[in-house]
Amino acid sequence: EVQLLESGGGLVQPGGSLRLSCAASGFTFTSYAMSWVRLTPGKGLEWVSTVSATGETTYYADSVKGRFTISRDNSMNTLYLQMNSLRAGDTALYYCAKGAVAGTSGWFDPWGQGALVTVSS
C-alpha cells in the first residue's frame, strides 16, 4: 500500500522559513515524479511544485517561485519542500502527492494527509 506521510508543519512568523518532509513507502519512489499541493479555505487546491523522478527537473507555481525549493532524496524515499520568505498568504494545508504514472507527471494519486503551515506574527 502506498503511504505518504508529511511532517514539518507549524507556526512561523512572516519572513521566516520552514521545511516540509514527505516520507514515502509502498512503491518504487525513484520511478515517480512527486508534487506539493496546498489547500486554503479561500482558494481551494493550488499546485505548488513538482520534481521529476530523478530530481533533475523542478517546476514551481509563480506564487512561490524564488521562495520555495522542492527536492528529493531517493536513497531515503523522502520528498522535501524548503519554504523561505513566508507570507500570510502561504498559510495552508500542504499535501504531498505522487504522480499517478511512472515516468510522467500527469495527475496525482495518491495524496498524503497534509501538513498545516500557519504564517502569522
Partner 1 sequence: DIQMTQSPSTLSASVGDRVTITCRASQSISSWLAWYQQKPGKAPKVLIYKTSTLESGVPSRFSGSGSGTEFTLTISSLQPDDSATYYCQQYNSYWTFGQGTKVEIK
Q: Which chain residues interact with partner 1 by CB under 8 A? A: 35, 37, 39, 43-47, 50, 59, 61-62, 95, 100, 105-114
Nearest by Cα to 109 from 97, 92, 96: 97
Q: How far is the CB of 14 from partner 1 (least distance, A)?
A: 25
Q: How far is the CB of 38 from partner 1 (least distance, A)?
A: 10
Nearest by Cα to 91 from 120, 48, 50, 49: 120
Q: Which residues contact 99 (CB under 8 A, 6 or more apart)?
A: 32, 33, 34, 35, 50, 53, 105, 106, 107, 108
By C-beta, is 97 or 119 nearer to partner 1? 97
By C-beta, is 49 or 78 nearer to partner 1? 49
By C-beta, is 88 or 116 nearer to partner 1? 116
Q: How far is the CB of 48 from partner 1 (least distance, A)?
A: 9
How far is C-alpha 45 from the geometric centre of its chain's CA atoms? 13
Q: How far is the CB of 45 from partner 1 (least distance, A)?
A: 4
Q: 58: helix, coil or strand? A: strand
By C-beta, is 13 or 101 nearer to partner 1? 101
Report how far residue 26's alpha carbon sits from residue 69's, in angstroms, rounded to the nearest whole number: 25
